[in-house]
């Protein structure tokens, strides 16, 4: 009898020692960090929306009988705090995988830690190319990267609007320089195809700067037909105010990061073209103008499970979109869930379009989304300005 008890006890210890972190018969635990406080606190909507989508799935019985739990930490958009949060989520909370995580610098700070522990990470909330390029087989990017986005914005401006001279205003960091890279690479391609297009000027500013008088003078002096903007919303607003004083009215081409309610209200944004990597609901694009899939998830997830973020529908949609490939991969991985089977399921996603992404695929690599739709700011608000553009 004692031998049987000892054998049973050892079997339990063995099972616990080799159990997949964050997985039980009834639960899967996912980790997340993001700014719930501090200067970027508005992006906390993304975390709230991820949790809302998990609750929507849980209300339907979960996945293979398991509830999805999101364990999140506030990093106040501080990379040092992001690292501390990730360590706690790995060591104390023993999360199965990560989902979301706002910010390029924040994500780069934790990338070595995530890879060292072999933890899958789906949908870093940044368009930096680094996450897919240095995935290590673990990181799955769904945010159309800034290089592809800038190239598609420039291609549309040249081919559809007849723009022949472009200037770029960019933040002097990885984010801004990747936008610059995308523009330069696309202009090189267009020239190789015989198109007469030129970059008139490349004007940068340092992160945190508030006054853009000098930058505006340089850009206006370039006389470019269009200005591509890779900045934060405050810097863009300052630039546009200076443009108005100089009576300079180029076609504005704006990264998705500038879909900020305050900036959208700036008079200088009338006529501007914005990028979006998500299907968007009618609450953003006007009655009957939204995508039916986006309308469904806005009503069934945002309004039902997190109505407090309904006033921020773009970031709410981003959180839902970031979580959707996680859920699809859990379904495909089956009831015997491991990190290995989860990663294999993600790698099998090909042409996934049932959620808020136009066409998601990881078969050929770790940059799953290479599409954008253009929106134009009109007196009635944002309206669709193109079909889906793909690279």
Handedness of CA 208, 317, 332, 352 (dihedral sign): negative
CA–CA separation, 137 and 133 (whole Å): 10
Specify the pLDDT at position 9. Answer: 42
Taking the C-alpha atoms of residue 368 and residue 342, their distance in angstroms, rounded to an integer, is 16
Q: How many residues does the chain have?
A: 391
Which helix H or strand E contains 214, and what residues bound it? helix 213-222
Query: Looking at residue 167, what is its pLDDT?
Result: 98
C-alpha span between 63 and 336 (Å, rounded): 12
Q: Which CATH superfamily is domain 146-276 in?
A: Response regulator (3.40.50.2300)
3-state secondary structure of 78: coil
pLDDT mean over 361-386: 96
For a pLDDT cut of 70, what percent of the chain falls above it? 95
Instruction: Give the residue from 173, 160, 320, 147 showing the smallest Cα distance to 232.
Output: 173
Q: Is the pLDDT of residue 15 over 50?
A: no
Helices (H) and strands (E) in the chain, counts: 15, 12
Rounded CA separation 386/160 (Å):
10
What mean pLDDT value characterizes the chain? Answer: 93
Domain 2-144+291-370 CATH class label: alpha beta
Dihedral of the alpha carbons of 53, 56, 60, 64, in degrees to the nearest 10: 20
Q: CB-side exposure of 41: number of CA atoms within 13 Å?
A: 4
Q: Which of 116, 114, 84 lies closest to 100, judged by CA?
A: 114
- Rounded mean pLDDT, 206-223: 95
Residue 350 clears pLDDT 50, i.e. is over it = yes
Q: What's the pLDDT at 6? A: 41
Distances (CA, A) of 34 to 42, 107, 122, 124, 329: 10, 10, 14, 11, 23
Domain positions in the chain are 2-144+291-370, 146-276
What pLDDT is attached to residue 391? 85
Task: Check if 2-144+291-370 and 146-276 are the same fold.
Answer: yes
pLDDT at position 14: 37
Mean pLDDT calculated for residue range 244-257 = 97
Q: Is 60 exceeded by the pLDDT of residue 252?
A: yes
Return the percent helix, strand and coil in the chain, to nearest 5: 45, 20, 35
pLDDT tens digits, 271-301: 999 999 999 999 999 999 999 999 999 999 9
Quick one: pLDDT at residue 17?
Answer: 39
Using CA atoms, how far apart are residues 243 and 355, in angstroms rounded to an integer? Answer: 39
Q: Check residue 260 and give its pLDDT.
A: 85
For the cut 90, the answer to whether the pLDDT of residue 12 exceeds it is no
Q: What is the Cα Rg of the chain in Å?
A: 22
pLDDT tier at 124, thresholds 50, 70, 90: very high
pLDDT in tens, 34-86: 999 987 888 899 999 999 999 999 999 999 999 999 999 999 999 999 999 99
């Amino acid at each position: 009898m004692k031998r049987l008890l000892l054998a049973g006890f050892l079997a339990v210890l063995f099972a616990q020692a080799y159990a997949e972190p964050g997985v039980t018969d009834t639960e899967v635990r996912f980790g997340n960090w993001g700014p719930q406080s501090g200067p970027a606190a508005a992006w906390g909507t993304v975390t709230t929306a991820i949790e809302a989508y998990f609750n929507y799935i849980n209300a339907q019985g979960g996945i293979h009988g398991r509830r999805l739990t999101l364990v999140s930490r506030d990093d106040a958009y501080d990379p040092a705090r992001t690292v501390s949060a990730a360590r706690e989520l790995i060591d104390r909370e023993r999360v199965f995988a990560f989902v979301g995580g706002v910010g390029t610098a924040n994500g780069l700070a934790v990338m070595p830690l995530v890879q060292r522990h072999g933890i899958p990470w789906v949908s870093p909330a940044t368009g930096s190319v680094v996450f897919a390029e240095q995935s290590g087989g673990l990181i799955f990017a769904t945010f159309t990267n800034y290089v592809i986005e800038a190239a598609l914005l420039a291609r549309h401006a040249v081919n559809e609007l007849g723009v022949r001279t472009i200037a770029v205003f960019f933040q002097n960091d990885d984010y801004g320089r990747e936008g610059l890279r995308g523009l330069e690479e696309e202009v090189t391609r267009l020239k190789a195809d015989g198109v007469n297009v030129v970059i008139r000027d490349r004007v940068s500013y340092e992160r945190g700067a508030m006054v853009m008088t000098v930058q505006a003078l340089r850009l206006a002096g370039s006389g470019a037909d269009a200005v591509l903007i890779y900045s934060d919303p405050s810097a863009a607003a300052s630039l546009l105010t200076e443009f108005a004083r100089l009576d300079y009215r180029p076609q504005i081409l704006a990264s998705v990061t500038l879909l900020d309610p305050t900036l959208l209200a700036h008079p200088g944004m009338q006529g501007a073209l914005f990028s979006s990597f998500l299907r968007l609901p009618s609450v953003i694009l006007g009655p009957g103008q939204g995508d039916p899939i986006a309308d469904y998830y806005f009503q069934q997830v945002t309004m039902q499970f997190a109505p407090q973020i309904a006033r921020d529908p773009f970031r709410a949609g981003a959180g839902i979109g970031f979580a959707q490939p996680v859920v699809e991969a859990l379904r495909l991985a089956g009831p015997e869930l491991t990190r290995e089977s989860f990663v294999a399921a993600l790698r099998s996603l090909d042409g996934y379009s049932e959620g808020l992404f136009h066409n998601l695929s990881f078969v050929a690599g770790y940059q799953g989304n290479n599409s954008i739709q253009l929106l134009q700011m009109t007196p009635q608000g944002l309206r669709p300005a193109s079909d889906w553009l793909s690279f």
